[in-house]
């Protein structure tokens, strides 16, 4: 019994499976037919679009050829000539139109005047004017003339008053202009005086600066002379002490020799004294002769026989020599000062050289640091370039995948051809347009599949209601860097 029951259940399951299989096969055949019909329709649409694209490309080529021919230099020259001729003709046309309009207006006015005159002549012919009416008309005309003359007199008196007022105002304006000219002259004089005062002040400042510099220089020279005088005074004092010491030594020696040379009463002392006096006299005579010879040489050298003049020349020469000596002393002091300045400058130069060496060392350290930083930046830039290349490769792969998806789901780019321009491939700038089309195409496919699932009884739905509609995709800015399309 249990086996029969189990066999019956298996038979029911087989029947159900066969029924399900036949249903699925029937549904598959229906879907295959729908797919073939859809493919045929899509192929027809694609062929029509391809033909349209070819026609548009041919038309584009023709337009580009026509545009190239139209933009040729010869056509440009012809166009410019034709344009200038057309502009000239248009100007002539406008001119002639204006003249025609003015002539028409004049003709219309003439016709109106002619009609008016004809009407007045007709009215005059209708009216027969009497002498009384002529007299009244002449009287009326005389009254009008009198009124007009009175008005002219009043207007003339007013005009005279206005002219008198204008004359007064003109005189006042002339007076004000003269005052203005006088004021301008005074102002110019004051400006010139101020400029002269400023120039004088600048000259005085320059003179004061020059005098101050000369005073500083004179004070420096005076200070140098004082120091030199102090040094000369100390040297003279030292020489005086040396001479005083020598004089004291000579006095002591003279006293000693005087004591030692006292006369002694001996037999040969007088003979020695006489011989000594004789020798001394001979030496004195020899010295006198030598001095006379020297004096004669001096006279011969100087060309003067007067001893006083020779002495005066000698004193003058000594004074000149002393002045030269003082000048040489000053030059020596200035040389010492210059040497001190040279030493200071050398010291400053050494300090500056040392500072330059320190700066050069610091610059070398800075240059080394910058070179190291440059190497690090270059390495980081290379790594960033590698990453950028990887990102670009990923982006290209992603865009290529989007392009494959676009063609896989059989999307149509006809609505965005005007936005794409010459570039019909997926790029980072037009990817949003393709994604929008893919999104809409996916929504359409999902709606079709959902309808088919609803129409097929017993089929488990794979797409829920919450998956339908227009979901919000992830923005492309969060996936890849994007820029606004220049087209």
pLDDT tens, residue by residue, 372-395: 888 888 888 888 888 888 888 888
Query: Which pLDDT belongs to residue 8?
Result: 64
User: What confidence category does residue 85 fall into, taking pLDDT thresholds of 50, 70 and 90?
Assistant: confident
Closest CA to 41 of 53, 33, 52: 33
Span 302-332, pLDDT tens digits:
777 777 777 777 778 778 878 888 888 888 8
Structure tokens at 47: 């062929």
Give phi and psi for 422, each to the nearest 5: -80, -15
pLDDT value at position 472? Answer: 46
Model confidence band, residue 25 (pLDDT cutoffs 50, 70, 90): confident
Q: What is the pLDDT of residue 384?
A: 84
Q: Which whole-number Å values give the CA distances from 318 to 265, 295, 322, 407, 479, in the listed order?
A: 51, 18, 6, 124, 109
Q: Is the pLDDT reported for residue 460 higher than 50?
A: yes
Token couple for 432: 């949003």
**Residue 254, pLDDT above cutoff 60:** yes
The token pair at 352 is 């500056």
CA distance 33 to 40: 10
Q: What is the mean pLDDT of residues 248-277?
A: 71
Where does residue 23 rank: exposed (0-12), middle (13-18), buried (19+ CB within 10 A)? Answer: middle
Alpha carbons within 13 A on the beta-carbon side of 98: 5
Find out whether 427 and 484 touch, Cβ atoms under 8 Å. no
Q: Is the pLDDT of residue 97 over 50?
A: yes
User: Residue 40 gets which letter from DSSP?
Assistant: H
The average pLDDT across 232-241 equals: 80
Kindly state the average pLDDT of the residues 161-166.
85
The confidence score (pLDDT) of residue 471 equals 46
Tokens for 32? 């295959």
36 or 5, which is more confident: 36
pLDDT of residue 443: 82
- Break the chain into its structural domains and give their ranges: 272-303, 312-389, 409-487
Q: Measured between alpha carbons, how far is 441 from 464 in angstroms, rounded to an integer?
A: 18
Answer yes or no: is pLDDT of 158 > 70.
yes
Q: What stretch of H or E contains 320? A: helix 307-408
- Residue 234 to residue 228: CA distance in whole angstroms: 10
pLDDT at residue 241, rounded to an integer: 81
pLDDT of residue 63: 83
Q: What is the pLDDT of residue 363?
A: 81
Q: Is 426 exposed, middle or buried (0-12, 13-18, 19+ CB in 10 A)?
A: buried
Instruction: Answer whether 412's CB lies under 8 Å from 41's CB.
Output: no
At 331 the three-state DSSP class reads: helix
Q: Tokens at residue 422, please?
A: 């010459």
Reply yes or no on whether the pLDDT at 1 is more than 60: no
Q: Find out whether 463 and 453 touch, Cβ atoms under 8 Å.
A: yes
Q: How confident is the model at residue 135 (pLDDT cuts 50, 70, 90)?
A: confident
At residue 444's C-alpha, the angle toward residues 442 and 445, to 5°, is: 65
Chain segment 180-234, per-residue pLDDT in tens: 888 888 888 888 888 887 788 777 778 777 777 777 787 787 778 778 778 877 8
Q: Say whether pLDDT at 470 is over 50.
A: no
The residue with tokens 């027809």 is 44
Task: Name the burial class of residue 196, with classes exposed (0-12), middle (13-18) and buried (19+) by CB atoms within 10 angstroms of its CB.
Answer: exposed
Of 449, 439, 434, 448, which Cα lies nearest the Cα of 470? Answer: 439
Rounded-to-integer distance, Cα 146 and Cα 160, Å: 21
User: Can you list the pairs that 121-130 forms with residues at least 24 positions away whose Cβ atoms lie under 8 Å?
Assistant: none
Which residue bears the tokens 């003249």? Answer: 99
Separation between Cα atoms, residue 267 and residue 251, nearest integer Å:
31
- Count CB atoms within 10 A of the CB of residue 27: 16
User: What dihedral angle (degrees, nearest 10) is formed by the CA atoms of 376, 379, 381, 386?
Assistant: -160
Question: What pLDDT was estimated at residue 2?
Answer: 52
Question: Who wins on pLDDT, 33 or 422?
Answer: 33
pTM: 0.26
Rounded to a whole number of angstroms, the CA Rg of the chain reads 67
Q: What is the DSSP string of 10-38?
A: HHHHHHHHHHHHHHHHHHHHHHHHHHHHH
Q: Is the pLDDT at 84 greater than 80, yes or no?
A: yes
How much is the pLDDT for 462?
A: 57
Specify the higher pLDDT residue, 121 or 275.
Answer: 275
- For 276, the token pair is 């000594």
Look up residue 485 and give its two tokens. 């399309």
Convert the pLDDT of each residue in 405-447 to its tens digit. 878 877 776 666 666 555 667 777 777 777 888 888 788 888 7
What does the pLDDT read at residue 130?
63
Do 443 and 469 contact (CB within 8 A), yes or no? yes
Alpha carbon dihedral 203, 209, 214, 215, in 10-degree steps, equals 120
Q: How far apart are CA 20 and CA 39, in angstroms?
A: 28
Average pLDDT over all residues of the chain: 77
Query: How distant, in Å, are the alpha carbons of 8, 19, 25, 418, 459 from that of 12?
Result: 6, 10, 19, 62, 20
Tally the C-alpha atoms within 13 A of residue 11's C-alpha that lie toward its C-beta: 6
Percent of the chain at pLDDT exceeding 90: 0
Indicate if the alpha-carbon torsion angle 197, 203, 206, 208 is positive or negative. Answer: negative
């Amino acid at each position: 019994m249990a086996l029969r029951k189990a066999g019956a259940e298996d038979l029911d399951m087989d029947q159900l499976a066969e029924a399900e299989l036949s249903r699925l096969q029937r549904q598959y055949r229906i879907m295959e037919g729908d797919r073939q019909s859809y493919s045929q329709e899509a192929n027809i649409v694609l062929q029509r679009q391809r033909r349209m694209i070819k026609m548009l490309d041919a038309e584009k080529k023709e337009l580009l050829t026509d545009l190239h021919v139209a933009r040729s230099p010869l056509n440009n020259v012809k166009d410019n000539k034709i344009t200038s001729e057309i502009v000239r003709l248009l100007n002539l046309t406008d001119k002639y139109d204006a003249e025609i309009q003015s002539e028409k207006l004049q003709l219309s006015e003439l016709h109106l005047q002619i009609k008016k005159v004809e009407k007045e002549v007709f009215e005059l012919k209708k009216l027969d004017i009497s002498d009384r009416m002529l007299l009244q008309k002449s009287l009326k005309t005389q009254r009008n003339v009198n009124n007009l003359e009175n008005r002219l007199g009043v207007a003339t008196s007013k005009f005279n008053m206005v002219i008198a007022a204008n004359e007064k105002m003109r005189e006042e304006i002339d007076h004000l202009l003269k005052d203005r000219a006088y004021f301008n002259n005074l102002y110019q004089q004051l400006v010139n005086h101020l400029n002269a005062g400023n120039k004088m002040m600048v000259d005085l400042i320059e003179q004061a600066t020059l005098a101050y510099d000369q005073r500083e220089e004179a004070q420096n020279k005076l200070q140098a002379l004082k120091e030199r005088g102090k040094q000369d005074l100390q040297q003279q004092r030292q020489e005086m002490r040396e001479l005083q010491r020598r004089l004291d030594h000579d006095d002591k020696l003279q006293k000693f020799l005087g004591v030692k040379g006292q006369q002694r009463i001996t037999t040969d002392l007088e003979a020695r004294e006489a011989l000594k006096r004789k020798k001394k006299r001979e030496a004195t005579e020899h010295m006198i002769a030598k001095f006379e010879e020297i004096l004669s040489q001096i006279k011969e050298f100087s060309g003067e026989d007067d001893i006083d003049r020779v002495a005066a020349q000698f004193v003058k020469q000594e004074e000149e020599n002393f002045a030269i000596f003082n000048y040489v002393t000053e030059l020596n002091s200035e040389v010492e000062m210059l040497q001190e300045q040279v030493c200071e400058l050398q010291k400053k130069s050494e300090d500056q050289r040392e500072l330059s060496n320190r700066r050069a060392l610091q610059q070398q350290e800075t240059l080394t640091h910058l070179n190291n930083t440059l190497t690090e930046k270059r390495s980081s830039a290379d790594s960033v370039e590698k990453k950028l290349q990887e990102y670009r490769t990923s982006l290209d792969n992603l865009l290529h995948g989007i392009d494959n998806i676009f063609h896989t789901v059989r999307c149509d780019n006809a609505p965005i051809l005007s936005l794409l321009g010459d570039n019909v491939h997926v790029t980072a700038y037009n990817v949003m347009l393709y994604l929008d089309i893919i999104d809409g195409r996916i929504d359409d496919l999902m709606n079709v599949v959902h309808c088919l699932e609803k129409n097929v009884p017993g089929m488990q739905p794979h797409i829920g209601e919450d998956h339908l509609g227009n979901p919000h995709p992830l923005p492309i800015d969060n996936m890849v860097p994007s820029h606004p399309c220049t087209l």
